[in-house]
Amino acid sequence: MAEKAIRQPNRKCPMSQTPPNPSYPRTRMRRTRQAPWSRAMVAEASLSAADFIWPIFVIEGENRIEPVASMPGVDRVTIDIAVRRVEEAATLGIPCVALFPNIDASLRTPGCEEAWNPDNLICRATRAIKAAVPEIGVMEDVALDPYNALGHDGIVVGDQIVNDLSVEALVKQALVQAEAGANIIGPSDMMDGRIGALRDALEAGGHENVMLLSYAAKYASAFYGPFRDAVGAAGKLTGDKKTYQMDPLNSDEAMREVALDLSEGADMVMVKPGMPYLDICRRVKDEFAVPTFAYQTSGEYAMLEAAAANGWLDRDTVTLEALSAFKRAGCDGMLSYYAVDVAKRLAAR
């Protein structure tokens, strides 16, 4: 950890306090760029397998793989295959995986009751992974959209997404996930007050060591489309999510959201989407100095894959550049569908 901290950009020394560079030719900025070893030596940020949380989509059955059409190279997999993939991730040094379910349509209801069924798909997947690979962290999504017949992250009453009733449901969902062995609860719903309610419930339930990685600044973005395909929520959403996810035009509001979640007990915070919101990542890290993550969303992934498939971008180079941008912006890590692919390439260097 000390080495990573040393290699982060220096945020404590504003430009006004740094000595001015002597003019050319006494200063030649290209001197430190002339060789791979010197570029590595002065790099202000670094990328490693330890920076990743790898999202995995889980389905029912055995030995089944379903490609996600809008995310080339990403699959939905049954629990047995998910376990094998997590074993590989652990050997590569990836510290954590995030699980997302695609459940049968018959289990998606207006009340979202399947979300807190202790034997639901995601709880069974968690138990299997923790039994086989106990050394890896498992993060669970807390939101109701995979279980909601109407596709929303909260409970819908009439034409309203009802905040407090939704928080009660999210608490029940998180508790069964913690009982199943989840190490991190990732509330992605954006309901007001849910972090405090979750922290209180986890403490009262004997899960004081379960971490909260809050999707603190989650925007009402068009970059989530392929993800909704992956979890089977596409086409089910009634209306939009603008009454609870953030306006993409707002930055100060994100700081208020982060401050509230930290005051309620969040251990870490996340910005979502990632690359279009690097300015938010930087503001969060500079203003709060807490563990800060970004989600390289399904839409970001799909754009890069489509451009690479058409020969417009070099896939290997551009993925490393995109992921490195999160570290430069101050992120301590990121959720990325490229995690295993990039970890393999970094290991081969």
Active site residue 285: no
Q: CA end-to-end span of the chain, whole Å? A: 21
> How many C-alpha atoms does 255 have within 13 Å on its Cβ side?
11
Q: Under DSSP, is residue 203 helix (H, G, I), strand (E, B) or coil?
A: helix
φ, ψ for residue 270, nearest 5 deg: -130, 150
Which among 12, 130, 172, 218 is annotated as catalytic? 218
In 28-83, the DSSP E strands lie at 52-59, 65-67, 75-78
Main-chain phi, psi angles of 51, to 5 degrees: -85, -5
Q: Which of 48, 90, 56, 61 is nearest to 75 (CA)?
A: 56
Q: Catalytic site residue 272?
A: yes
Catalytic residue of the set 130, 272, 285, 327: 272
Distance CA(232)–CA(68), nearest Å, equals: 10
Which letter does DSSP use for residue 190 in this model?
-
Interatomic CA distance for residues 136 and 323, integer angstroms: 22
Give the Cβ contact number of residue 231 at 10 Å.
Answer: 23
The residues annotated as belonging to the active site are 218, 272
